[in-house]
Structure 1
C-alpha cells in the first residue's frame, strides 16, 4: 500500500476546489501526505486484533464477530450492526461503555474483517439469517438489535422474521427502501414533506447508490486497484456525513485502510446490488435515535408508519456514525431499548404464566 501511495497519480478537475462537487484536491493532498509520511497501520492493526474475536457458523455462512461478554452470563444481550462505508470500528468507542451487557458486534459479510463466504445473493435478508444463526450458536435466544444504515435494515428484517428473539430495536434511521412504497397521500404532513426532502437528497447526494447497486463490477475495479481512489470515495462520505472533526487523520485513514488491507470494497457493495425484501411494518418496540448531522433524519410520524416507535430521541450533535461521534448519547439510547426489551420479556413471561394457570 505504501509503495502504491508513493506512486499516486494526482488527478485534478476544473472543480477540484469545490466541495459541492466531491472531496477537494486540498483535502486529498493533506490525507495523502499523512498516509505516506505519518500513518502507521501496524499500531491500529494490533489494537483491532486484541478485541475478543470469534467465528461461528458453517463455512458457507460463517460470521466473524467481536464477542464482549459481561461478568454476568445472564445479562441482556445487545447486537451492534454497522453499515457502509464503515465496519465494526464504528462501535469502538461504545464497547467500553457497555461492560454490564453481553455485546456482539458482527463483521457483516463482505465488509472489513468479515469471514470469507460466498457473496452471491448476499442481501440484507441473507445477512439477517446468518446473524440469527450465529446468535443461536452463541446460545443467545433473545437480544436487542442496534444499528443504522445497512445494519439497521438487517435489524428490521431480523425483527420481522424472529419476533420471538428480538426483544427491542435501537435504530439511528429506518431502512431507506421504505420510501419507495410509502404513499404520500396517506402520511401526516411532515411525513409527506420528508419524502420530498429524501427524494431531493437522493438526487443530489445519492449517485454512489446508483453506481454501487447497478454497476458494482466497474466501480470495484477502480477502487480496489487504487488506494488513493479508495480514499477519495470513502473519505468524502465519512466526513460529509458526520460532525466536523469527527475523525482525526489517523482515525479516518484507519477506517479507509481497513477496506484496503482486507480487499473488501467490492464485496461491501453486495447489499446495494442484491435486492432486499423488507417488512411493511414491525411490531418490535423501537427506540429511534435522531442525530442532527445524519444524512436523512426522519420525523417521528414517518418512522411510525413502519416501526413501533416507543422512544424518539433527538440529538443536536452527531451524524451518520453516531456510535463513533457521540458514544455516550448512543449508549444512553441503547439502554432505553434494553429497558424496553426487559419490560417486554417480563410481559411475555407473565402472559405465559397466566396461560399456564388457566
Structure 2
C-alpha cells in the first residue's frame, strides 16, 4: 500500500464544493488503494515462517505477549484472517487529501446533512490510527467529522518525509481544517492526539472553540510545578515515575533508537504484532469479550494496517520531539476520564493546565476509549460541543459530572 500511488492526477487537484457554511479549498476526494494480492500472500508466508525465540519460563503478560497467545493469533493470521473484510470498510469512508507545506495530509471527512452543523476533529495516537474512531463515526451523523491521519501514521506515510513533531502535526491539521473551509471547530484527542490537540488550542485558539481530552497529555507528566501539590497529585506523579520504570521502556527506545527498532519490526510481522498488541491489550479495559477489549480480528486489522502502510518507523517520530512548555490552555475543555486509562489524573491536576469546564468519570474503559466505549466517549465530546456553543453565544458552561 504505497502512499505515493494514491496522489491524485493534476486535473483533480482542487475540489470546490459547498458544505458547512464554507467553501472547500485545495481538497481532493482520495481513494484508498487496495493492498495487492502479492503483498497479502507475502505477509501470510512471513507469518507462517515465524521462528519463535528461545525464552525463559514465564506466565501471564508481565514479560510481554505470552508464547501460547501469540502462537494462536499468528496461526489465525496466516490462515483464516481475511484482510479484505476490513479493507472494504476502510475504503468506504469518505477520504479527502490536501497538501500542507508540501506534505500530503489525509483524513476521513464525514459530513452532516446539515450544512451549518458544528465541526469536530478527532485525533488518534500510538499504536493506533484513524481506526480508533470507527465506532464513534455512526454516532456523529449530526455533525461534520474530520479524522486526520497524523503524519507518519497509517494513511500518511510517504518516502523521505520529515519527522513530524506534535507541534508540526498541529499546524498540518489546522491547515487541513482551514482547507476544508471550516473556521471554528472542537478538537478531541487521546495519546499523541491529546498533545497535538493541546498545541492546536495554543497556536490556533481563534479556531479551536473547545477541547475534549481523554488523558493528560504526556508533555504534562513531568512539569516544573510551582506551589504545593495535593496528596492526590503527589500520588499521581509517583505513579507516573513507577509506570515509566516498569512499563515505559518502549518510549525510550522509540525516542532514542527508532530506526534500529523500525528495521526489526518492518521485517517481522509477528514482531510488529507483539510490539503493538502488548499495548492494545495492556492499555485497554480487560473486561471486554474474552477478557479483552479487542477481539483477534480487531487486533490483526490494526496491526495489518501498520504492516501494509509501512508506518511503524515513522510513527515513532513524535517520541523524539523535545518537550515543549505550552503553558496554560485557556480553551474551554471537557474531559472524559476512563478508569483504566494508563495514568488517570484527578480534576484538580488537570485544572492546573486546562480551563476544565466539564469533567466526566467512568468506571469502565481504558486508553482507547473511543473504540472501547464509543457511547460514553461521544457523551464527553458532546459536552465539548456544548462548551463551544457557549463560547459562540458568549456564555459559559461549568458543569462537572461524577461517576455515573
Structures share fold, TM-score greater than 0.5: yes
Unpaired runs of 5+ residues, structure 1, are 349-358
User: Is structure 2 residue 341 aligned with structure 1 residue 294?
Assistant: yes
Residue in 1 that maps onto 2:303: 256
Return the match for 1:57 from 99, 120, 131. 99
Cα 1:278–1:108 shift into 2, 3 Å: farther
Return the match for 2:256 from 200, 210, 214. 214
Q: Which structure's residues are more often helix, by fraction?
A: 1
Cα 1:237–1:285 shift into 2, 3 Å: same
Q: Within 5 Å, which residues of 2 pair with 1:1-358?
A: 1-58=43-100, 60-114=102-156, 116=158, 118-183=160-225, 185-244=227-286, 245-347=292-394
Unpaired runs of 5+ residues, structure 2, are 1-42, 287-291, 396-404
The higher-RCO structure (CA 8 Å, 6+ apart) is 1
CA contact (8 A) 1:119 1:270 kept: no
Deviation at 1:290, TM superposition (A): 0.7
SS at match of 1:180: coil
Deviation at 1:278, TM superposition (A): 4.1
Q: TM-score, normalised by structure 2?
A: 0.84
Cα 1:225–1:115 shift into 2, 3 Å: closer
Distance across 2 between alignment mates of 1:39 and 1:278: 45
SS at match of 1:219: helix
CA contact (8 A) 2:330 2:355 kept: yes
Deviation per CA, 1:53-94: give whole Å up to 9, x if none.
Answer: 010124722210000000011110000000000000000000
Distance across 2 between alignment mates of 1:157 and 1:23: 34
Q: TM-score, normalised by structure 1?
A: 0.94
SS at match of 1:19: coil
Q: Please, what is the CA RMSD of the aligned residues?
A: 1.4
CA contact (8 A) 2:255 2:320 kept: yes
The number of residue pairs the alignment matches comes to 348
